Amino acid sequence: MPYQGFLSLAIDSKRRLRLLALLAGSAFWSFLCPPRLPAQVLITGENGGKGSQAVMVSANRIQPDDFGKLANFWAQYGHGLTDRVDAFASYGNITVFGRTQHYVAVGSNIGLLGRSRAGVDVALYNNVTFSLNHRAQGSPVLLISALIASRPFRAAEHTVTPYGGVNRLSPIGKADDPVFTSASAVHTGIAGISVTFGKLILFAEFNPGRAQHSGGIGLLYAF
């Protein structure tokens, strides 16, 4: 899970520039692909470390163009399998037009680069959700993948971590009447920030896209 550290580390400027160019290019491409229904990640590029544990709750609002507002709520448990791999299990529900779909999910956050080598922490986030009801109104399986970069800094007694990247949601399986999920792949950008308050970490995230926008908050407790 995204615990924030604050070591002062050397920066490889060439690697950092290549990484930022990749993220900028991917974010630009996400605006060219018309999205309908995004998924938020609410996680940084830093792993929690082996043996770490945390729980998180989140509330999200999604507003596609020419479509109703969707409300997405979920709760998640995370565990650090290794220093570079975190695993997650979660339950959530999404509501639109007075109907609610429930789902469960499993996922991971895999550390790719650390601040000591790239100047920022970079991770590949993947999450697979399985719908429990209203399966005709949404794809039975959704694969959420995101490339995330972040770097923490110290502000008074808090650790503040801006993060950003790109996000892709891929529906797997056909939906007869796609209401809760998109009929095709969705691309969005990621712009977020997290702030620590002792063992609590508050997240806020915005996901811009060509045809919609969304926002969400999350509260994580590390133990």
**CATH code, domain carrying 169:** 2.40.160
Q: How far is CA 2 from the centre of its chain?
A: 11
Specify if 8 maps to a domain: no
Q: What total number of domains does the chain contain?
A: 1
Residue 2 domain flag: no
pLDDT of residue 196: 96
Query: Is residue 112 included in any domain, yes or no?
Result: yes
Q: CA torsion angle for 7, 20, 56, 213 (degrees, to 10)?
A: 150
CA distance 66 to 9: 47
> Does the residue 105 lie in any domain?
yes
Position 38 scores a pLDDT of: 41
φ/ψ of 179, rounded to 5, equals -115, -50
Instruction: Report d(CA 85, CA 216) in Å as an integer.
Output: 24
pLDDT at residue number 199: 93
> What is the extent of the structural domain holding 77?
13-222
Contact 111/90 with Cβ under 8 angstroms?
A: no
Q: What is the pLDDT of residue 69?
A: 76
Per-residue model confidence (pLDDT) at position 65: 56
Which residues in the chain show pLDDT less than 50?
1-17, 19-38
Q: Residue 199: inside a domain, yes or no?
A: yes
The model's pTM is: 0.79
Which region, left, alpha or beta, applies to residue 18 given φ > 0 means left and ψ of -120 to 50 means alpha?
A: alpha
Is residue 140 assigned to a domain? yes
The answer to whether residue 7 sits within a structural domain is: no
Residue 104 lies in a domain: yes
